[in-house]
Structure 1
Amino acid sequence: MASGVTVADACKKIHEEIKRDKKHRYAIFYIKDGKQIDVELIGARNEEYEDFLTNLQAGGAGECRYGLFDFEYMHQCQGTSESSKKQKLFLISWCPDTASVKKKMVYAR
């Protein structure tokens, strides 16, 4: 097992496109060849959370993944009558119970 896992430049680019530019709704990442985190799939801006969850688990019962999701919601502050749009980025680690211990350990680092 490699001593360290690196992050591909494409991941950093997609992260900025989601966070700053709002180009995509989400991205799914995987560890390629046990050595580098890379982009597996990018979700269009009009996709929903259910699409994200489906794609996060699309690798199968034995596969782990990372997911980055841009969550948007309306929030009304106490004492005001107006709602404002808020956004939060969530980074999710998906490691199903059916994945091998080795895979879970690599994704847990």
Structure 2
Amino acid sequence: MTIHATRAFRMKLKPGNEDEYRSRHDEIWPELAALLRGAGIHDYSIFLDEATLDLFAVMKLHPGHDLGPLPEHPVMRRWWDFMADLMEVEPGNRPKEWPLTQVFHLA
């Protein structure tokens, strides 16, 4: 059995940007999707808690892959710049992330 690494984290949307955030992801750039897949990411979902505007992201990584180089990739940087007006970000426009700890899993 192959074990896939799962990573989950929380981000924060700015008020009034729910529809635009969804719209931009509905039209995700093909080069960004290819970059994420090339980094070993698959089965990636982002959920919105409409009451708090918290975004909950869950992604799976194929074995042997590492997200380390992604933050420096030009396509990733452009996407962060494109999304920065909609969400809370760090300097350099990387989305603020709070890691989530898995407490239960039913396989």
Output the TM-score relative to the length of structure 1. 0.25
Greater RCO, 1 or 2 (C-alpha within 8 Å, sep 6+): 2
Structure with a larger share of its residues in strand = 1
Larger Rg: 1
Structure with a larger share of its residues in helix = 2
Output the TM-score relative to the length of structure 2. 0.25
